[in-house]
Structure 1
Amino acid sequence: MSMSSTLSDRFVRSHLKMRHLILLVELGRHASIANAAAAARLTQPSASRLISDLEHVLGIQLFERMARGVVPTWAGKMLIRRAGVALAEMDAAHCEISTLLSGIGGRVAIGSVLTPATNILMQAIKLFKARSQKASLVVDFSTSKSMVERLLDGQLDLVLGRILDTAVVPLLNFEPISDEVHHLIVRAGHPLVGRDDLQLAELVEQSWIVPPTGSILRDRLTALFLSAGLAPPAETVETLAVPLVVALLTDTDMLVALPKELVQAQLAAGELVALPFDLKLRMDAYGIITRRGHVLSPGAEILADALREAAMAELDASRKRQAA
């Protein structure tokens, strides 16, 4: 065992107490030692002493004492986040024990980017419910960045998405599933349908449906136009809601960059059309993301296995479609 591992083990086993974790979490919520102490059911002198003890053991300042309260340093922020995860783990353990004792199958929470939800996630949910009928499943959709943040905070068990922040890579496990090819989608009667001479300069003048600022697709669309010396489209609607995207595409001359899987039914019915223009947009592979060192609950493990199985089935189906 290395010296750093020995020191870390000694810190956790000999110095760190549950009341430290509770106080740290409350200090993350309150910029006041008095308020944090009250929330943690401690006296203010006891809370101040606990902070001083941690700072002495770690040899670093955790909080800056200001006139109107305290502000965590970078080390303080790190401990606060880790303390929140540790308490979330213990709360999850309590919930698992309680639900198993009561005969209920427990609760599993997954976050997902949109595209996998169209087929892989849907098939995985069907497998999950068949194998864990009493379990409660919570599914949320957002950008990969926000989902990973919630995963690290212990609010989610798994994420089906991408890791965009290299700083959190050491904290996560990633099992890649697939890449996404984005196509320009419009309504069947759109004025651009049938054109084989489309230019990016013409497309930038169109009305676009775009994902929110900060998403990887939005960033790459912006980079696409800027690299061609063009300003990004000025007339846009920002949304991640697929039903609204489909409705806007069907009833207006707006266009969107999407994987075909999201609107496969409308493409098959002839309501929407993919324009013959290669945006050359390739997204990073998405996959199953979990916290490194975290033991999944039985229900979350069943869901992870179902995702792997559904992903393999989708890959096989995709290969057969291409072969045909």
Structure 2
Amino acid sequence: MALNLHLLRLFATVVRTGSFSRAAEALRISQPAVSKGVRDFELQVGCRLLDRTSRGVVPTREGKALVRHAESLFAAERAAEDELLALRSLDSGSLRIGASTTIATYMVADYLGLFHRQFPGIELHLVIANTRGVADLMLAHEIDIALVEGPVEDKELRCEAWRTDVMGLIVGAQHRWASARSIDGVALKEETLIVREPGSGSREVVAQALIDAGIEPKTLEIGSTEAIKQAVAAGLGVSIVSTATVGDQLKLGRLKSVAIRDLAIERTLWQLKVPDRIDSPAARAFEKIIRQ
């Protein structure tokens, strides 16, 4: 038997106030509505819950047992309301952000700092995975925000454009192109191009741009942008990576940036969402920051 919680509330209020009239006043409804509600509730549970006396109404033995449970239930309800209020005011709670590797390593830190300064009571968690991994985490409801480097073909997700990222060619300081300001794209056919692992958004964007240009270089697969930069600096090949990832090595002179005259590669970075999912207040606040 599923209890009617509205009727349970009417009954518990009558017990708490000691009369139908005071319960009606507390609930801001008519006294006949309270009386009818309690009668309907007694019919539902199959026993008398209140004794009407000259001194007012008092609960029966069954009524006393039920009202104890009602008090616990409504206390839990108030606690839930209080917690939701705290979350709405962003004074406490947590936010889990999933980001693909390049975004997490080089782009998201400033946004996290802005959010933390505005909402220091929110505990932040950053989960790093490749694009497909972040998508899977979002579908599993294990993260609140999903930022990835490539669009995801999944009917259960909605992809929204977030920002544009420029991809650029990098070579080692001793490479034959190191002093060149630009090269022809076809020259890449003569080089080993170091690429990320399958599933990486950056790899897919670069691969598609090269296919469209009719360029098929030899490739060497390395699983992280940091490792790719080290490999390029060591002379193992060249790479096309997000320009946001190489500032430190360019300043140190270990890498050189070379323009490709006939091949401009830009990519859209994406935010993944689950349609009809209600975002938490913290997630909405973070989204506002990253889209400013």
TM-score range (shorter-chain normalised) is 0.5 to 0.7
Q: How far apart in 2 are the matches of 1:292 and 1:202?
A: 44
Structure 1 position 136 matched with structure 2 position 120? no
Q: Which residue of 1 aligns with 2:233?
A: 250
Q: CA deviation at 1:201?
A: 4.7
Q: CA deviation at 1:151?
A: 0.7
Counterparts of 1:1-324 in structure 2, within 5 Å, are 97=83, 105-117=92-104, 120-161=107-148, 164-168=151-155, 171-172=157-158, 174=160, 176-195=161-180, 198-227=183-212, 231-234=216-219, 236-240=220-224, 242-278=225-261, 279-283=263-267, 285-309=268-292
Alpha-carbon spacing, 1:274–1:126, altered in 2? closer, same or farther (3 Å): same
Q: CA deviation at 1:269?
A: 3.7
Runs of 5+ consecutive residues of structure 2 not aligned to the other structure? 1-79
Q: CA deviation at 1:200?
A: 4.2
**Aligned-partner SS, 2:171:** strand
Q: CA deviation at 1:184?
A: 0.5
- Code of the aligned partner of 2:238: L
**Aligned-partner SS, 2:284:** helix
Q: CA RMSD in A?
A: 3.4
Q: CA deviation at 1:243?
A: 2.8
**4+ runs deviating over 6 angstroms:** none
Alpha-carbon spacing, 1:180–1:291, altered in 2? closer, same or farther (3 Å): same
- Is the 8 Å Cα contact of residues 185 and 275 (structure 1) preserved in structure 2? yes
Matched-pair identity in % = 19
- Code of the aligned partner of 1:183: G
- Is the 8 Å Cα contact of residues 150 and 201 (structure 2) preserved in structure 1? no
- Is the 8 Å Cα contact of residues 97 and 126 (structure 2) preserved in structure 1? yes
Q: Which one has the largest radius of gyration?
A: 2
Q: How far apart in 1 are the matches of 2:212 and 2:279?
A: 43
After TM superposition, the score normalised by the length of structure 2 is 0.59
Q: How far apart in 2 are the matches of 1:214 and 1:162?
A: 10
**Aligned-partner SS, 1:148:** helix
Alpha-carbon spacing, 1:248–1:167, altered in 2? closer, same or farther (3 Å): closer
- Code of the aligned partner of 2:155: V
Q: CA deviation at 1:130?
A: 1.3
- Code of the aligned partner of 1:111: G
- Is the 8 Å Cα contact of residues 145 and 163 (structure 1) preserved in structure 2? no
- Is the 8 Å Cα contact of residues 120 and 307 (structure 1) preserved in structure 2? no
* Larger proportion of strand: 2
Q: How far apart in 1 are the matches of 2:120 and 2:136?
A: 29
Runs of 5+ consecutive residues of structure 1 not aligned to the other structure? 1-93, 310-324
Q: Which residue of 1 aligns with 2:70?
A: none
Q: CA deviation at 1:185?
A: 0.6
- Is the 8 Å Cα contact of residues 177 and 287 (structure 1) preserved in structure 2? yes
Q: CA deviation at 1:262?
A: 0.8
Alpha-carbon spacing, 1:173–1:220, altered in 2? closer, same or farther (3 Å): closer
After TM superposition, the score normalised by the length of structure 1 is 0.54
**Aligned-partner SS, 1:180:** strand
- Is the 8 Å Cα contact of residues 150 and 202 (structure 2) preserved in structure 1? no
* Larger proportion of helix: 1
**Aligned-partner SS, 1:168:** coil
Number of equivalent positions: 209
